[in-house]
Amino acid sequence: MLARRTLLAAAAALSLSLPAMADENLLGYVRGAETLPKGSGEFYQWFTVRSDKGAGSYRALDTKTEVEYGVTDRFQVSAELNGLGVHTSGLRIDGYLPADKATTLQLRSVELSAKYNFLSPAKDDFGLSAIAALELGRLDVHSGQAKREIEFSTELQAQKYFLEGQLVWVGNIGLRAAREKRSAIANLPDGFDWPGTPEDEITTKIGTGLSYRFAPGWSVGGELLREAEYETEVGLERWSLFAGPSLHWAGNTWWATLTAFRQVRGGGEQFAAQDDFRLHLIEKTKNEVRVKIGYNF
């Protein structure tokens, strides 16, 4: 009887410390290896505000509306719509920001992805999954100008539980390949560079984070994300390192995550007007704030 009570108590404690739902996003940018159970689904809504390029005024809102479905216990598929709103003034960056622009939220791209779980973090002591995605875009994520884009990305996602699941480590390694073509813009300033030929880009990323469950349903964490972009003609063109804290809450079917990200270092291409040359501020900003909401069904 005592042994049975001990086992029941241990199971109850573990249920409080482990994530409430599979594929629950404990952090804002680095994602875990869990997949949805067969036949279950999850709805996501993301909002990301990017701001401050160190000159002029710049603010962008990214949205992601996503539905995931568990085909098997190890394989899931998803579809998403990505939105973009941009407000920029008093800022020109050759080849990137050609004019002041203020737009309401518009459809930026559609994306399909699939994720397969090789090792379960709960059952195999170490979790490992791979995800592949195809995205078709119609707007430039930096300027809001028209741009045709096709993008393929793949990523390895690792996850491990410590302290009986109260502490969670996650790590990601990813690769993105894209072909882009900007649409022509009338009345550009004399000498302003706005290439109209197709461009090929390869982006690598590596991220890691820890999340600690300090109370039932509540977790606090921190994460790092480094991205580097390579152009076919010039090699390494730019890189950035972001870091920040996250706060996560999970109920029976709903969960939410808030992350404040700040660029701590960056390099590569820069523009003359930026106020901090330790950062990359052409394609990135100084600050990002992300809110993610999920619903399991």
Assigned CATH topology for domain 10-296: Porin (2.40.160)
Q: Does the pLDDT of residue 189 top 60, yes or no?
A: yes
Q: Does the pLDDT of residue 274 top 50, yes or no?
A: yes
Q: Does the pLDDT of residue 7 top 50, yes or no?
A: no
Closest CA to 150 of 176, 180, 182, 110: 180
Mean pLDDT of 238-243: 97
For the entire predicted model, the pTM comes to 0.89
Distance CA 186, CA 57 (A): 23
Distance CA 284, CA 276 (A): 13
pLDDT at 21: 57
pLDDT tier at 15 (50, 70, 90 boundaries)?
Answer: very low
Q: Does the pLDDT of residue 20 top 90, yes or no?
A: no
Percent of the chain with pLDDT over 90: 77
pLDDT in tens, 80-138: 999 999 999 999 998 889 989 999 999 999 999 999 999 999 889 999 999 999 999 99
pLDDT tier at 167 (50, 70, 90 boundaries)?
Answer: very high
Mean pLDDT of 279-293: 97
Q: Does the pLDDT of residue 11 top 70, yes or no?
A: no
pLDDT at 261: 98
Q: Does the pLDDT of residue 6 top 60, yes or no?
A: no
Distance CA 209, CA 257 (A): 14
Q: Which residue has the higher pLDDT, 194 or 202?
A: 202
User: What is the 8-class DSSP label of residue 189?
Assistant: P
pLDDT in tens, 228-238: 999 876 778 89
Listed range (18-22, 190-194, 269-273) with the worst mean pLDDT: 18-22
Domain ranges of the chain: 10-296
Distance CA 114, CA 268 (A): 33
pLDDT in tens, 57-83: 999 999 999 999 999 999 999 999 999
Average pLDDT, the chain: 91
Mean pLDDT of 261-273: 94
Contacts of 155 (CB under 8 A, 6+ apart): 130, 131, 172, 173, 174, 175, 205
Mean pLDDT of 168-177: 98
